[in-house]
């Protein structure tokens, strides 16, 4: 009599994914995207949005399909229309221009960016020279600088410090963009402190909780995995910083991808554990796409690495409660 051998379990590859938590959408991005969706629902298309509402291709394309029209400048918005200002914030001059064009505005600036704007206004009123650490040309930096252009000087890294001039070395404060690398910013602050020993620090962190938490998590991934993948768009400051932070923390390789199809199979050579996370503007559906792509290649064992808990939420802009059309 012959017996049928029992089915053998599939050979274990040992390949796995370490998934960061927290990752992805922060409270400010969630608020900004819901603001545009709610405006479309409430007032109907078109709803104009000045600049990308958040720096993510997928989010922008989805909103375009629903009737959002993205413009670079307020001047492109037809008079009398509704325009949403993005999460990165705008200078007061943009509000003035919108009022001149009789636009109904909805301000989706993240409250944590607004906090930095208020600090800039307060210290400018006290006649401080404000050294704003940030990346030249980034929308957030342009918006914050516009609050007090005569008092703010941009500092784009430690190399800028030697050339700075201030009016009174005892009345100088540093502020920063919300989405910078924490470690690089501290290197710039240390250089500033050496140059200006009386330098005042902001009353609380300008780099926001979401940026800090995602960087802490990606450092852990860098130590435990052979490849770190960050889901996010190239123009997303906090996503780009996460890749840099991973590399600085010793990740053998780290890449930024918008979508799963951008991953190169060659990156997986000799990789047993992949670290996966996403920037503050990337929705989790894109992470799910990457998880599926990895599972198809044997990386189907997924473990979550939790480094912080997040519970912050922001109320939608009050303008949505008004009849704008």
Provide the binding-site residues for ligand SF4, judged by CB under 6 A. Answer: 26-29, 87, 110, 112-113, 178-179, 208, 210-211, 238, 280
Q: Is 52 a catalytic residue?
A: no
From the list 52, 119, 139, 140, the catalytic residue is 140
The smaller minimum CB distance to ligand SF4, of residues 129 and 147, is found at: 147
Q: How far is the CB of 115 from ligand SF4 (least distance, A)?
A: 9
**Phi–psi pair at 216, nearest 5 degrees:** -60, -45
> At 213, which helix (H) or strand (E)?
helix 209-224
For residues 138 and 134, what is the distance between their CA atoms, to the nearest angstrom?
Answer: 8
The smaller minimum CB distance to ligand SF4, of residues 232 and 275, is found at: 232
Query: Do 59 and 25 contact (CB within 8 A), yes or no?
Result: no
Q: How far is the CB of 97 from ligand SF4 (least distance, A)?
A: 23
The smaller minimum CB distance to ligand SF4, of residues 225 and 238, is found at: 238
For residues 15 and 12, what is the distance between their CA atoms, to the nearest angstrom?
Answer: 8
**Phi–psi pair at 221, nearest 5 degrees:** -60, -40
The smaller minimum CB distance to ligand SF4, of residues 133 and 208, is found at: 208
Q: How far is the CB of 281 from ligand SF4 (least distance, A)?
A: 7
% helix, strand, coil for the chain, step of 5:
40, 20, 40
Q: How far is the CB of 207 from ligand SF4 (least distance, A)?
A: 8
Closest by CA position to 123, among listed 142, 92, 151, 156: 151
User: Which residues are paired to 48 by β-bridges?
Assistant: 69, 83
Catalytic positions, written as ranges: 140
């Amino acid at each position: 009599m012959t017996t049928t051998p029992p089915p053998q379990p599939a050979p274990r590859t040992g390949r796995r994914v370490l998934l960061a938590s927290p990752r992805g959408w922060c409270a400010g991005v969630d608020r900004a995207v819901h603001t545009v969706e709610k405006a479309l629902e409430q007032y109907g298309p078109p709803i104009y949005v000045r600049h990308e509402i958040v720096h993510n291709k997928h989010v922008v394309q989805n909103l375009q399909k629903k009737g959002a029209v993205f413009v670079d400048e307020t001047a492109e918005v037809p008079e009398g229309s509704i325009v949403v200002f993005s999460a990165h914030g705008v200078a007061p001059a943009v509000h003035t221009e919108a009022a001149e064009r009789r636009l109904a505005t909805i301000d989706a600036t993240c409250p944590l960016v607004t906090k930095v704007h208020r600090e800039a206004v307060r210290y400018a009123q006290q006649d401080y020279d404000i050294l704003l650490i940030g990346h030249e040309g980034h929308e957030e930096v342009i918006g914050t600088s516009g609050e007090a252009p005569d008092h703010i000087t941009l500092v784009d890294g430690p190399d800028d410090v030697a050339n700075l001039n201030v009016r009174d070395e005892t009345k100088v404060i540093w502020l920063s963009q919300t989405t910078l690398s924490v470690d690089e910013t501290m290197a710039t602050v240390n250089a500033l402190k050496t140059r200006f020993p009386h330098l005042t620090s902001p009353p609380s962190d300008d780099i926001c909780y979401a940026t800090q938490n995602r960087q802490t998590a990606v450092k852990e991934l860098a130590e435990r995995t052979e490849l770190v993948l960050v889901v996010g768009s190239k123009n997303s400051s906090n996503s780009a910083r996460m890749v840099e932070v991973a590399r600085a923390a010793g990740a053998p390789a780290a890449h930024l991808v918008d979508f799963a199809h951008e991953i190169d199979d060659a990156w997986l050579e000799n990789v047993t554990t992949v670290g996966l996370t996403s920037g503050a503007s990337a929705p989790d559906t894109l992470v799910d796409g990457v998880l599926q792509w990895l599972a198809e290649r044997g990386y189907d064992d997924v473990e979550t690495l939790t480094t912080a808990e997040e519970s912050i939420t922001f109320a939608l802009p009050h303008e949505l409660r008004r009849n704008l059309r």
